[in-house]
Amino acid sequence: MKKLADFLIAIFYTRRCRYCRKVIDIRERICPDCKKDIPRIEGPVCYNCGFSQKECVCKKKSQHYMRICAPYYYSGAAKRAVKKLKYSDDIDISYILAEDMATAYKEHYSEMDFDYCTFVPSHKKEQRKRGFNQAQLLAQHLSKELGIPCKELLIKTALTTPQHTLNESMRSGNLLGAMQVKDRHLEKIRGARILLCDDVKTTGSTLNECAKTLMICGAAEVDCITYCIAKKDNDKTKNSEG
């Protein structure tokens, strides 16, 4: 009887690895390759850079957002998941990524009281090319999971050189003035505490530029959450853009 049940489950239900989406044994959640390398960011965390405190090298460099947290570093299984989201049509994986971000939120931001959740915008030309903005998908799922209203507060008005082609010092200059708050949301932002989402933090220039734009328009506080955080240089690949 049990064999028959297993057989029927196998026919009607395919289990996929939650990181790389490979088809796996029905009794597993993660494929053997991903299981070997889940780059969890272990607490306590440095909220200035999002790294585990024992790996932090940020020297508390100041920025426009107050805190950042993420469940993973950008490598191994988490890197495979981001690639899957950005470069395949399998956008269902965004639910899984957001689930892990919600867990990180509950761990690090549970006492926070955000008015809105928003996301790093992409230029309309970039979005047309990809068909979606992955940061928006993550923010929308997270918003439902956490009960924080999701608003598209920012627009990217300039088509900038892709961040991954530039070195760290050029990255913030590249984005200067590229973000704007949508006119109809200006009132909402005044005095608001905002949760800003993205898929990957690389140098933090993109998140910083977004946070700066929101703070200039009167936000009380901006805190960031991403799915993963790249460790400097060794993870600078064509897939990391922030």
217 contacts 181 by C-beta, under 8 angstroms: yes
Q: Taking CB under 5 A as the rule, does residue 56 contact Zn ion?
A: yes
Give whichever of 8 and 58 is closer to Zn ion, judged by the CB atom.
58
Q: Taking CB under 5 A as the rule, does residue 48 contact Zn ion?
A: yes
Among 46, 85, 175, 200, binds Zn ion (CB under 5 A): 46
Among 49, 97, 135, 146, binds Zn ion (CB under 5 A): 49
Among 31, 69, 70, 189, binds Zn ion (CB under 5 A): 31
Output the smallest distance, CB 35 to Zn ion, in A: 8
* Closest-CA residue to 196 (of 101, 132, 56): 101
Select the span of 33-41, 67-75, 138-146, 219-227 touching Zn ion (CB under 5 A): 33-41
Q: Taking CB under 5 A as the rule, does residue 85 contact Zn ion?
A: no
Give whichever of 47 and 119 is closer to Zn ion, judged by the CB atom.
47
Output the smallest distance, CB 34 to Zn ion, in A: 3
Output the smallest distance, CB 146 to Zn ion, in A: 25
125 contacts 145 by C-beta, under 8 angstroms: no
Interaxial angle between packed helices 134-146 and 93-108, expressed in degrees from 0 to 180 and rounded to the nearest 10: 50
Q: Taking CB under 5 A as the rule, does residue 58 contact Zn ion?
A: yes
Select the span of 50-58, 94-102, 171-179, 200-208 touching Zn ion (CB under 5 A): 50-58
Q: How far apart are CA 160 and CA 166, in angstroms?
A: 11
Helix then strand then coil, % of the chain, to nearest 5: 40, 15, 45
Within a 10 A sphere around the Cβ of 29, how many other Cβ atoms?
A: 13
Select the span of 15-23, 181-189, 194-202, 228-236 touching Zn ion (CB under 5 A): 15-23
Residue at token pair 């977004």: 210
Question: Angle at CA 82, nearest 5°, toward 201 and 10?
Answer: 150
Q: Taking CB under 5 A as the rule, does residue 19 contact Zn ion?
A: yes
Output the CA–CA distances (angstroms, integers) from residue 148 to 108, 132, 165, 175, in the order listed: 16, 21, 34, 28
Output the smallest distance, CB 198 to Zn ion, in A: 18
Interacting residues toward Zn ion by CB under 5 A: 17, 19-20, 31, 34, 46, 48-49, 56, 58
